[in-house]
Amino acid sequence: MMSKLDAKIPDGPLADKWTNHKAKLRLVNPANRRKLDIIVVGTGLAGASAASTLGELGYNVKVFCYQDSPRRAHSVAAQGGINAAKNYKNDNDSVYRLFYDMLKGGDFRAREANVYRAAEVSNLVIDHYTALGVPFARDYGGLIENRSFGGVQVSRTFYAKGQTGQQCLIGAYSALSRQIDKGTVTMYPRREMMDLVVIDGKARGIIARNLVTGEIERHSAHAVVLATGGYGTIYYLSTLALNSNGSAAWRAHKRGALFANPSFVQIHPTSIPVLNDHQCKLTLMSESLRNDGRVWVPKKKGDTRKPNEIPEEERDYYLERRYPAFGNLVPRDVASRAAKERCDAGYGVGPTGLSVYLDFRDAIQKKGRKYIEDSYGNLFEMYEKITGESPYEVPMRIYPAGHYTMGGLWVDYNLMTTIPGLYAIGEANFSDHGANRLGASSLMQTSGDGYFILPYTISDYLADDIRTPKIPTNTPEFDAAEKEVKERIDRLMSINGTETATSFHKRLGKIMWDYCGMVRNEEGLKKALGLLDELKEEFWKNLKVPDTANEMNQELEKANRIADFLELGKLLVYDALNRRESCGAHFREESQTETGEAKRDDQNFAYVAAWEFAGDGNEPILHKEELKFEYVKLQERSYK
């Protein structure tokens, strides 16, 4: 069974692996590229960069997104920045340091070779975005500005105020638009991938639903690339776009792709806290705010005074107190747990007691309001619109929220899943972030995957396919997949119960957050398995989907996604149960140090847990990919 997991990591010194590997990857000649079809699902930074680059190379690309325009993918909402190892600040940054910070930030649960490569191509990513017209912040000399970002001691983060994601996505989208204009890329907006079609063991197409007409479509290709983002909305309240979902990855999993480390979900420390029961999402406040904001709670339990009335000596700057070396810039998991710890101990602030202060008073005094406005103006505006309070006047209130998923489809060094011809890039794969994502490394990884890695590795696979004619869509495999999709939709439409998809989603989210969220234990996880089974059963008996399947039906879209989330949720719980150690964002109560920090167990858990689907209702099968650390020494993460 281990043979399923050949990561294909090249031999040789770490710094030479990608260079040597690239030299050996086979090419497809330009005349043959035109004859090869590639499907890309998703148009975020990973999907748009991959689709535009593959189009540029001359492949025949079809790209799909559920939004009305590729420009709206959720990468658009990333705020703080994108890393690169340019050493523009001469603060002794390097590819190695970026690699090291990512590995350490990920609590040594990522692959050395992949992470090193992500750091290596980061500089190309910045060059490309700049050439595309992404307006990174500049100094008066006209050169690019950099800032430091959570968990690191160098200034390597490129940014465009608090809109870095939007600006990069607009760049990637414009490059994609150029290819659409040229005709190398065909765009299919308002489409949702419903299933993967596997022929003779290879990924050869997808079944999609046209979200305007309800029509079920067949699309074939020589290879399929999933760039479908993360599944953080499984918690219902999360920082993700409302329609972000795990369905494409889950369907691929059910067709044979292994799913790796599903329970590694990053909890982001700086989200606007829950304000009311109707709330549908949590809005992220960029982590870059912690460069200048100081996190604190009152020293007195249940202190109900207004924050500005609490004198300096009665404030507990708990991050600075507990982690003097990094202070407010500790990594996300550490900051998140520390906030939860204070709130659980009764020191939380705000009407619910579930928030802490992020205070800019000192920074405004020291650096001036203008500086704060320039750096974070749009974030402050956003906060004020939502809460009705100005962070220039009173400290922000923040609390952790489900955010980025480090788990995803298992891929080898070539970014190929365990289904030949099926690739997963960006947040949809698992390989680069370990148990916790380093701030500002997601835009870097997703773009690197799409621009500079996948286009090379996929050609090696396609080199065998140059004689394969266009894949027909009238095969038994397409028939069967389409039939399954239609039957499932019919089934959802005909339950005719009394509860809406949203109500099931809320209940699912609560189970996941309570038992498989920031803190987990064996008892809770076992309980969650039963609760998820019950909820799934009720879903298929008591769901109500209005209207018909042959029109725009947003409730049907939701129902389809929740049906998958109910199954994926169980996989998260199995994964969390298996991992009897704390690491990164994943905190097992049974495994902590005397001071309450996460305690990793390298002896027993230095592996990637890759799960195989074993049929509906059966326990998934665990495969282990051992993580070998040749270039870094596994050490306890300490930010003290």
Partner 1 sequence: MKVKLKIWRQKDSRSKGKFEIYELDNVAPDMSFLEMLDALNQKLIKEGKSPVAFDHDCREGICGSCGIYINGRPHGNDHRTTTCELRLRRFKDGETITIEPWRAAAFPVVKDLVVDRSAFDKIIQAGGYISVNAGAAQDANAIPVPKHNADVAFDTASCIGCGACVAACKNASAMLFVAAKITHLAQFPQGRVEAPERVKRMVAKMDELGFGSCTNTRACEAECPKGISISTIAKLNREFISAKLKD
Least distance CB 130 / partner 1 (angstroms):
4
Question: Can you name the residues that pair with 271 across neighbouring β-strands?
Answer: 284, 399
3-state SS class at 503:
helix
> 437 an active-site residue?
no
Instruction: Please report, as residue ranges, which positions from 303 to 342 form the binding site for partner 1 (by CB under 8 A).
Output: none
Q: Looking at beta carbons only, is 151 or 273 nearer to partner 1?
A: 273
Q: Looking at beta carbons only, is 166 or 560 nearer to partner 1?
A: 166
Q: Looking at beta carbons only, is 184 or 436 nearer to partner 1?
A: 184
Least distance CB 160 / partner 1 (angstroms):
6
Least distance CB 240 / partner 1 (angstroms):
8
Residue 168 parent element (H or E): helix 164-182
Question: Can you name the residues that pair with 138 across neighbouring β-strands?
Answer: 144
Q: Looking at beta carbons only, is 54 or 598 nearer to partner 1?
A: 54
According to the binding rule CB under 8 A, does residue 426 interact with partner 1?
Answer: no
For partner 1, what does the binding mask look like between residues 82 and 111, x meaning CB under 8 A?
----x-x-----------------------
Least distance CB 32 / partner 1 (angstroms):
19
Instruction: Please report, as residue ranges, which positions from 445 to 484 form the binding site for partner 1 (by CB under 8 A).
Output: 451-452, 455
Give how far Cα 577 sits from Cα of 304, 490, 524, 525, 603, Å: 39, 35, 9, 6, 17
With CB under 8 A as the contact rule, the residue among 6, 127, 490, 626 that binds partner 1 is 127
Q: Which stretch binds partner 1 (CB under 8 A): 30-38, 164-172, 247-255, 532-540?
A: 164-172
For partner 1, what does the binding mask look like between residues 503 and 532, x meaning CB under 8 A?
x-----------------------------
With CB under 8 A as the contact rule, the residue among 9, 94, 100, 137 that binds partner 1 is 137
Q: Looking at beta carbons only, is 173 or 613 nearer to partner 1?
A: 173
With CB under 8 A as the contact rule, the residue among 15, 27, 131, 325 that binds partner 1 is 131
User: If we measure between CA atoms, which residue out of 445, 380, 369, 367 comes closest to residue 406?
Assistant: 445
Least distance CB 131 / partner 1 (angstroms):
4
Least distance CB 466 / partner 1 (angstroms):
22
According to the binding rule CB under 8 A, does residue 592 interact with partner 1?
Answer: no
With CB under 8 A as the contact rule, the residue among 7, 38, 48, 180 that binds partner 1 is 180
User: If we measure between CA atoms, which residue out of 264, 87, 71, 253 comes closest to residue 170?
Assistant: 71
Least distance CB 370 / partner 1 (angstroms):
13
CA angle (559, 563, 564) in 5-degree steps: 120
Fill in the DSSP letter of residue 592.
Answer: B
Q: Which stretch binds partner 1 (CB under 8 A): 121-129, 149-157, 216-224, 251-259?
A: 121-129
Instruction: Please report, as residue ranges, which positions from 231 to 290 form the binding site for partner 1 (by CB under 8 A).
Output: 241-243, 275-276, 278-281, 283-284
List phi, psi (to 5°) of 220.
-110, 160
Q: How many other C-beta atoms can be found within 10 angstroms of the C-beta atom of residue 313?
A: 6
Tell me which amino acid residue 263 is.
Answer: S
Q: Which stretch binds partner 1 (CB under 8 A): 199-207, 248-256, 374-382, 480-488?
A: 374-382
Residue recorded with tokens 């239609």: 486
With CB under 8 A as the contact rule, the residue among 203, 382, 396, 608 that binds partner 1 is 382
Q: Looking at beta carbons only, is 244 or 336 nearer to partner 1?
A: 244
Whether the CB-CB separation of 288 and 147 falls below 8 Å is answered with: yes
Least distance CB 128 / partner 1 (angstroms):
5
Give how far Cα 519 sits from Cα of 340, 409, 514, 555, Å: 10, 23, 8, 32
Whether the CB-CB separation of 315 and 323 falls below 8 Å is answered with: no
For partner 1, what does the binding mask look like between residues 201 and 230, x meaning CB under 8 A?
-----------x------------------
CA 217 – CA 225 distance, rounded (Å): 18
Give how far Cα 196 sits from Cα of 182, 218, 254, 599, Å: 28, 10, 9, 39
CA angle (290, 293, 295) in 5-degree steps: 85
Give how far Cα 377 sits from Cα of 131, 392, 616, Å: 26, 10, 49
Instruction: Please report, as residue ranges, which positions from 21 to 80 form the binding site for partner 1 (by CB under 8 A).
Output: 49, 52-53, 56, 67-72, 74, 76-77
Residues whose CB is less than 8 angstroms from the CB of residue 349 and which lie 6 or more positions away in sequence, other chains included: 297, 298, 303, 307, 355, 356, 357, 397
CA 376 – CA 373 distance, rounded (Å): 5
User: If we measure between CA atoms, which residue out of 354, 337, 335 comes closest to residue 438?
Assistant: 335
Q: Which stretch binds partner 1 (CB under 8 A): 21-29, 140-148, 433-441, 617-625?
A: 140-148
Burial zone of 576 (CB within 10 Å; 0-12 exposed, 13-18 middle, 19+ buried): buried
With CB under 8 A as the contact rule, the residue among 341, 381, 514, 601 that binds partner 1 is 381
The shares of helix, strand and coil residues in the chain, as percent rounded to the nearest 5, are: 40, 15, 40
Q: E-strand spans in 275-321?
A: 294-298, 315-316
Q: What separation, in Å, do the N-terminal and C-terminal C-alpha atoms of the chain show? A: 42
Distance of CA 257 to the CA centre of its chain: 18
Tell me which amino acid residue 284 is.
Answer: L
According to the binding rule CB under 8 A, does residue 363 interact with partner 1?
Answer: no
According to the binding rule CB under 8 A, does residue 135 interact with partner 1?
Answer: yes
Nearest 10 degrees: Cα torsion 123, 127, 128, 130 = 140
According to the binding rule CB under 8 A, does residue 133 interact with partner 1?
Answer: yes
Q: E-strand spans in 565-606?
A: 587-588
Least distance CB 21 / partner 1 (angstroms):
16
According to the binding rule CB under 8 A, does residue 4 interact with partner 1?
Answer: no
With CB under 8 A as the contact rule, the residue among 36, 95, 160, 206 that binds partner 1 is 160
DSSP string, 496-542: --SB-HHHHHHHHHHHHHHHHSSEE-HHHHHHHHHHHHHHHHHHHHH
Q: Looking at beta carbons only, is 387 or 475 nearer to partner 1?
A: 387
Catalytic residue, chosen from 332, 337, 342, 561, is 332
Tell me which amino acid residue 154 is.
Answer: V
3-state SS class at 323:
coil
Burial zone of 292 (CB within 10 Å; 0-12 exposed, 13-18 middle, 19+ buried): buried
According to the binding rule CB under 8 A, does residue 392 interact with partner 1?
Answer: no
For partner 1, what does the binding mask look like between residues 485 and 504, x meaning CB under 8 A?
-------------x-x-xx-
Number of residues that bind partner 1 (CB under 8 A): 83
With CB under 8 A as the contact rule, the residue among 551, 589, 590, 636 that binds partner 1 is 551
Q: Looking at beta carbons only, is 328 or 553 nearer to partner 1?
A: 553
With CB under 8 A as the contact rule, the residue among 92, 142, 313, 618 that binds partner 1 is 142
Tell me which amino acid residue 272 is.
Answer: I
Q: Looking at beta carbons only, is 88 or 317 nearer to partner 1?
A: 88
Q: Looking at beta carbons only, is 130 or 475 nearer to partner 1?
A: 130
Q: Looking at beta carbons only, is 166 or 266 nearer to partner 1?
A: 166
Q: Which are the catalytic amino acids?
A: 332
